[in-house]
Structure 1
Amino acid sequence: MPPITSIAEMARKTGNGKDKSFCRLGKADQTVQSRALKCLALAGSAHQLICGYPCRAFGRGVLLGIGLLWVATGVSIVADPPGFYDRTPGLVMMGPYSVHFIRDVGLAFIAAGTATVVGAWQYNRRLALAGAGWPFLHTLFHLQIWSHRGFPIDGIAAFDFIAVIAPAFLAVMLAARLSGRLADNDPTPGKALSR
């Protein structure tokens, strides 16, 4: 086999899944240059992994999970408004208990989570982004409250980051990357495509 002389040639041999013959070369056949090129090509394959099918499928799964978490959160809020008011760090200092307001928040989480789940399930970017929209705006409100508190690193900030901020930012990022079916042989029943 002739030596590999370029990164492009290496990527053709290792990145597309069809010709992996270079990977089977014996140690005696690998020069320092070809080993370096192989490392660069593997880095290109890692990029393909990050931007390609496996990562997109994982991201879609995470988006589905976040949407289901929002639906479950909304259901628990609607089912037990006093419990939500008492359990949520920092909520008591925001004002008096209001069952109407708390149930509105719960219903918003149910709607947002449902739209996110359906959007991710059907590979519909617009619907998934619409679903992530309310939690993202809710996150901006939490960040504004945190700034008015002087950006303390406390239990309230930790709870907000884990339960509100990180999931919303992650959902918007993953929904924005959502596009079409991942592969022709993908068995997922979702049919709607949005590019």
Structure 2
Amino acid sequence: MRRIIQILAVIYVLNSLYMLIMPFDWYENTPGVSMLGPYNTHFVRDVGLVYLISAAGMFWGVRPRQVNVLIFASIWPALHAIYHFWMWVGRDFALDQVALVNLVGIQIPAWLTLFIAMRMRRSNLLP
């Protein structure tokens, strides 16, 4: 389970770096993002920083006796996933590339991270 969290954290770091280093490229090339409004460098980089701190918490949270950090680090992706779920509802459950990116890039990683964190907490794998 630790390895899965570490892989997801690496994905979050890579996404964060993409957002921080090439925010306009990220905005233009991530399906659905440009549909949400005009480009805003400040906003893209802010979200990139949130992903980065969440990933750092995940890396820290898989250490012994740090599972609460992992749970806390999982909150941002879960809240982000809830927001994107409601956006999908607002799009009448469209099954398109935007929905696929939402599912694979936001929903699955967020809920998998939170699920693993809660399971680790319950089973005391990281006391």
Shorter-chain TM range is over 0.9
> What are structure 2's unaligned runs of at least 5 residues?
none
Q: What is the Cα-based RMSD across aligned positions, in Å? A: 1.6
Cα distance in 2 for partners of 1:149, 1:128 equals: 32
Q: Which runs of 4+ in 1 moved over 2 A?
A: 179-182
Cα distance in 2 for partners of 1:72, 1:97 equals: 20
User: What's 2:5 paired with?
Assistant: 63
Cα distance in 2 for partners of 1:60, 1:156 equals: 29
What is the DSSP-based 3-state SS (H/G/I as helix, E as strand, rest coil) of the residue aligned with 1:178?
helix
Cα distance in 2 for partners of 1:169, 1:181 equals: 19
Selected match of 2:34 from 92, 98, 118: 92
TM-score computed with the length of structure 2 as normaliser = 0.92
Aligned ranges 1:122-161 → 2 under 5 Å:
122-161=64-103
Q: Which has the larger radius of gyration?
A: 1
Identity of aligned residues (%): 29
Cα distance in 2 for partners of 1:123, 1:157 equals: 37
Cα distance in 2 for partners of 1:176, 1:96 equals: 37
User: What's 1:174 paired with?
Assistant: 116
What is the aligned length? 126
Cα distance in 1 for partners of 2:44, 2:13 equals: 15
Give per-residue Cα distances to partners, 1:12-42, cap 9 Å, x unaligned: xxxxxxxxxxxxxxxxxxxxxxxxxxxxxxx
Cα distance in 2 for partners of 1:135, 1:105 equals: 11
Aligned ranges 1:68-79 → 2 under 5 Å:
68-79=10-21
TM-score computed with the length of structure 1 as normaliser = 0.61
- What is the one-letter code of the residue matched to 2:108? A
Give per-residue Cα distances to partners, 1:50-92, cap 9 Å, x unaligned: xxxxxxxxx1110111112112211111011001100111111
What is the DSSP-based 3-state SS (H/G/I as helix, E as strand, rest coil) of the residue aligned with 1:145?
helix
More relative contact order in 1 or in 2 (CA 8 Å, sep 6+)?
2
> What are structure 1's unaligned runs of at least 5 residues?
1-58, 183-192
Q: How far 1:181 moved relative to its partner? A: 7.7
